Amino acid sequence: MAAKKEYGVVIIKPDSVRDGLEGSIVQDLVNAGVVTVWGKYWTIKPEMVPVIYPKEVTKITYSSTLKAITSGPLFILIVKSPNVYEFLAKTKGKMDKGGIRHKYCWKSKQELINEGYAGQELQDKLAENRLHTSDTIEETLAVLSICLSTRETEELRDLAPDLYEKLRDHQTE
């Protein structure tokens, strides 16, 4: 029996949009086997960032994360795939090895250090890591709750009925 398809969120971060990479990143995701369901450009307000990065808020690097994700418009994408969270983690990869991050990050941490980046400036550069993906359905629902308008939520009724129901339940909790 085939694995049930799940929904996840891919956030193509402002550094990717600035560099015109969102189309290439979406194509890489599709080529890897994900189905794209819906997407839009969006600018996130600083007070909403903890919804996307709840584990980052207490870290010393949070100011860099905040700066990177709020530096301009991003592209948010709803995707569908069997075992979507494992798929997204693997496909996203890391800056220094494999995946989309590695493909589109021009310089490694060591290369940035060799160029003289240090401290906050180095952290800011490292936070420009091209994309973020949701890790759980709960995170997916939380992110969609802050970025979708009422009309956009209603669009999901036809595009992704099971996700729509979960999102409506999440919003009434």
pLDDT tens-place string over residues 11-47 = 999 999 999 999 999 999 999 999 999 999 999 999 9
> What does the DSSP assignment read for 89-103?
HHHH-BTTBSHHHHH
pLDDT tens-place string over residues 76-108 = 999 999 999 999 988 887 666 677 877 887 677
Q: Which residue has the higher pLDDT, 65 or 100?
A: 65
Structural domain of 166: 5-172
| CATH code assigned at 27 | 3.30.70.141
DSSP state of 61: T
Question: Which residue, among 13, 9, 51, has the nearest Cα to 142 in the 3D structure?
Answer: 51
The band of 138, judged by pLDDT with boundaries at 50, 70 and 90, is: very high
Domain count, the chain: 1
The band of 154, judged by pLDDT with boundaries at 50, 70 and 90, is: very high
